[in-house]
Chains A and B, each alone.
Chain A
Amino acid sequence: MASNSRRWLFTLLGWLVACILFFPIFWMFLTSFKTEVAAVATPPQLFFQPTLENYVAIEARADYFNYAFNSVAVSLGSTILALLLAIPAAYAMAFFPTKRTKGTLLWMLSTKMLPPVGVLVPIYILSRNFGLLDTRIGLIVIYTLINLPIVVWMIYSFFKEVPKEILEADRMDGATTQQELVHVLLPLALPGIASTALLAIILSWNEAFWSLNLTTANAAPLTAFIASFSSPQGLFWAKLSAASTMAIAPILIFGWFSQRQLVRGLTFGAVK
């Protein structure tokens, strides 16, 4: 009896907290189906005639798809590039550790500590000189480098869980390093690689510092597009809500499904 009432108390508290934290997202989602008039109505409307006009309007702004495409291209591009660089490195460090492996891993991680503002000026100037300013390639290169340490660490930790005996048996059969990597290890570590990719996509998708500073129109991803709504003349709440909903929905769903792996990725395995 006592434990039952305790359970109800925790249910109430837990849901209260969840609703408070989720509320801004819920409110944005709700507003995206209102007319602009209803969006700013006093008192705020919880019940209204839902409309899709904002989504249509955002879609009609031809450039919305350009921004969305940039987000997809940059996130996927940088994730693939980071995986291509990281998988061999993680493989070597996980299966052939040397005295320097620990140092190398920590050093890679330490590059994450470089504050972006500290290198904003040189990166800006380099991008300009190489003609990479406001290009997707420029962003892909930067996002790859930003995410590379985390990607190496995560894949390294997943590779560590693959039983060594399997690889050794295969090696006895005369498999080359490449065959071993492609035919044995990758299939075994695929779930881990997939969740690493997921995290890299999330991080790239939401990155705002470099996208705001290095892009203007051509290569601007959704983070920068949404920021363009901050100017006073661009204030259409319902349309802003619709655009925001479309910008965060894919990543939100990704995030929900990958929370466990996220803990590992975000703390570099220090918390299990």
Chain B
Amino acid sequence: MSSSIVVKPRHETPRIKQRKRQVSTLPLVAPSMIALLLWMIVPLAMTVWFAFQRYNLLNPDVREFIGIENFTFILTDPGFWSSIVTTVVLVGAVLAITIGLGTLLAVLFDQDFFGQGIARVLAISPFFVMPTVSALIWKNMLMHPVNGLFAQITTGLGLGAIDWFADFPLLAIIIIVSWEWLPFALLILLTAIQSLDREQLEAARMDGANPVALFRFVMLPHLSRAIAVVAMIETIFFLTIFAEIFVTTGGGSGLATTNLAYYIFLKALLEFDVGGASAGGLIAVIIANIVAIFLMRSVARNLDT
């Protein structure tokens, strides 16, 4: 695969001609830009507006400006802070699992072995399963405390069954999300490894580097950018994990699996507290933007337009 973003030296076109064509390109870009501008600004402006109001859909007539009350309410709600902790644990754990295991598996799948192509296709399959399906398979067929496969195996071994969603709900969510996203990390990191210069590897091997040293000093540095990209993209998705929680635990037990996304969902569509949900949403936007700054920077470095 040749590079897609890096621009090769362009065939020079006469200046005047190019300028004349330039004018006509604005109508081509405009529809996309306007659509995205509206998509970004309108809801965001509304969110900011609602965040400073008392506004509950159950009682929409009582609607007034209340300043930062929604924010103070949210920020003093123990449920909110618990949801932040849950979000951080969830994101951190799944990142560690998918990137750690993903790197090892990428190295494994880079080796030449029998049926490698088919094995790789099988291994990346979970990524294509819709979140609601994967959540339900894991919940009912694997982690179910009575009839789930895991319970049947552990009781068969005389170990007793684990009631995953009652006893370790967050761990159960972490396992499900890791299963969905490990293939993503594997796919990206494998592609990155395969772009590693084989001669460089050979040279290091000639110099007597053992496999561990090869991995540590040749492969890992080469992978660092890909790992950064995977981490950033996964973080963006993991900050707003929703369907898996919606389908399995509903945020429970208690608040054990209520992450920020689910907390705002509860506020908005179950309590109909538009003001509170908007304040929470704004905080989510701010957190995501802090993360996004790093992502944009790493992508921008790759763009030489």
Contacts and interface: CB of A to CB of B under 8 A. Distances in A.
A113 B21 contact: no
A213 B265 contact: yes
A85 B22 contact: no
Interface string B10-28: 1101000010011011111
Interface residues of B, number: 118
A251 interface: yes
A41 B274 CA distance: 47
A88 B28 CA distance: 5
B248 A270 contact: no
A148 B156 CA distance: 51
Given A13-B108, A120-B277, A227-B243, A31 B141 contact: yes
Interface string B27-39: 1110111011001
Interface string A80-100: 000001101101110011100
A268 to B, nearest CB: 6
Contact of B36 (A148, A229, A251): A148
Interface of B: 1-5, 7, 10-11, 13, 18, 21-22, 24-29, 31-33, 35-36, 39-40, 42-44, 46-47, 50, 105, 108-109, 111-116, 118-142, 147, 149, 152, 156, 179, 182-184, 187-188, 191-192, 195, 225-226, 229-230, 233, 236, 239-240, 242-243, 246-248, 260-261, 264-265, 268-269, 274, 277-278, 280-282, 284-285, 287-289, 291-292, 295-296, 298-300, 302-303, 305
10 contacts: A14-B116, A27-B137, A113-B289, A121-B47, A121-B50, A125-B274, A126-B43, A226-B132, A247-B133, A259-B187
Interface of A: 7, 10-11, 13-15, 17-19, 21-22, 24-25, 27-28, 31, 40, 42-44, 85-86, 88-89, 91-93, 96-98, 101-102, 104-106, 108-126, 144-145, 148-149, 152, 157-158, 160-161, 164-165, 168, 177, 202, 205-206, 208-209, 212-213, 222-224, 226-227, 229-230, 235, 237, 240-241, 244, 247-248, 251-252, 254-256, 259-260, 262-264, 266-272
